[in-house]
Chains A and B, each alone.
Chain A
């Protein structure tokens, strides 16, 4: 590779300013929410504060973790095309430990508080007289919840750290020969596969059930985790695209071109449709069977106080990507990709909003503007940590055996 390539990312001053401003907005919003609701003696009032923290921290943790999934899935499939911008998902995945600790603290605070409004199943007295929750108490218990949550966040952070370390190990020491290169690819494959097993057992199955679905503790859906996974993965790809466009606009990532952006756009398009498929599969079966214990979930969402948010989210997350990202040209246009990425991240944030809040405040949606503030705080945190991670290592994994495949990639 020629030496003219700008490999080292220097965080622009404005970038850090924006990140810190967003974090300050987030902290102010959290403080306002706390004094308005969180400090209240009324359990429903204070639950509204905790629900906002829960929704935002879980959503953004799963989104940054999706960057990790993107990285490992392409590594396992020996997909070389991502390598020119591989440092971007790597840097985003560096947010997982930070966000993980915040999310863990919030989850444990919600689980172990006296306020059982969010997680009913934490009320042991109540569970004794509730046959449905009693039946589930092996899964929905404080011990199991805590163990799985700590283990999950720990494993995500650990395996992410390992993947990043493997990638950066080549920067100083290029592989001497093809045998070493084969070994290196194999090592990457094994670690990526390990991560994906953990991912399948957590994000794709147990974690959304525990963290989000247990808010509606009586209700259950086996589609739920897949649907949550699709939601966060499409938002994760949108986040990667945003950073790629940002770096391109600042004259970094010279070797990343329209072809790579096109494929990221395809991911956004395809997984928006995939999300809809899962969302609809869950909705349609429940709608068709029309059994009260199942429809109870959709009653406040599709028809009740949340129907506006519910259908708006459907339009943002399905109709808009379907129609706007369908054309080849729009996947190669920076403005369209940026707009769609922001829209998708916002749309899936709304999706999480309607997963969490209807159980806590079924009759009317709480004032959403404070939650926007909290969300901006988390966005600032992601920007801040990702920026620092990007600046830590060269932007190009130039000694990776697949790098040429990525440079000449075209769709």
Chain B
């Protein structure tokens, strides 16, 4: 879905931190903050909850363990029991390495795929981060808007908390399949308003 955002571009993370706090206190909903490098503590200031990726990883791992033990047990005791050097058919110690590997494999692959899903990353899916400079040297805070939002008021607010550039942007928020150069509708270039 295409939505309207108002973005502020900050040149310094020491300005960004109090700005994020002020924006939240003023009641604005921060869509996302884009930074060229990971900033310690920003997630806490933004009030993001802890990721549940670990829980997902644990479940995938357990699934891997169960799959390995279950399959090997079935294969080596029921389906095709073979006598390996007089060992019992059910030889758990010998299966631990495979079980371990499968646990790691399931957890790793599962977590990577889950991570990609949560971040909306996949081949042919386009990502946009409002301002290319947020991959280089500036910090972009994107505020969400509704129909009732007073644009000028938000722009003034962003200017007052230290944003060097403020602009109104239209962006696809969900899975965006398309091409950057062909997708005029998403960018709404003609409507972009810029101060400074």
A interface with B by C-beta (< 8 Å) = 280, 283-284, 287-288, 290, 326, 328, 410
Contacts and interface: CB of A to CB of B under 8 A. Distances in A.
17 contacts: A280-B96, A283-B93, A284-B93, A284-B94, A284-B96, A284-B97, A287-B93, A288-B93, A288-B94, A290-B85, A290-B86, A290-B87, A326-B58, A328-B50, A328-B54, A410-B40, A410-B41
B50 to A, nearest CB: 7
Nearest to B94: A288
Nearest to A408: B40
B53 to A, nearest CB: 12
A106 B93 CA distance: 38
Contacts of A288: 93-94
Interface residues of B, number: 12
Contacts of B40: 410
Contacts of B86: 290
B138 to A, nearest CB: 24
Interface of B: 40-41, 50, 54, 58, 85-87, 93-94, 96-97
Q: Which 4 A-B pairs have the closest CB atoms?
A: A287-B93, A284-B93, A288-B94, A410-B40
Contacts of A280: 96
Given A283-B93, A290-B85, 10 more contacts: A284-B93, A284-B96, A287-B93, A288-B93, A288-B94, A290-B86, A290-B87, A328-B50, A328-B54, A410-B41
B176 to A, nearest CB: 33
A72 to B, nearest CB: 28
Contacts of B54: 328
A284 B100 CA distance: 14
B7 to A, nearest CB: 28
A95 to B, nearest CB: 36
A149 B85 CA distance: 43
A284 B93 CA distance: 6
Nearest to A323: B58
A212 to B, nearest CB: 24
A290 B88 CA distance: 13
Contacts of B96: 280, 284
Nearest to B86: A290
A410 B44 CA distance: 12
A97 B161 CA distance: 60
B47 to A, nearest CB: 17
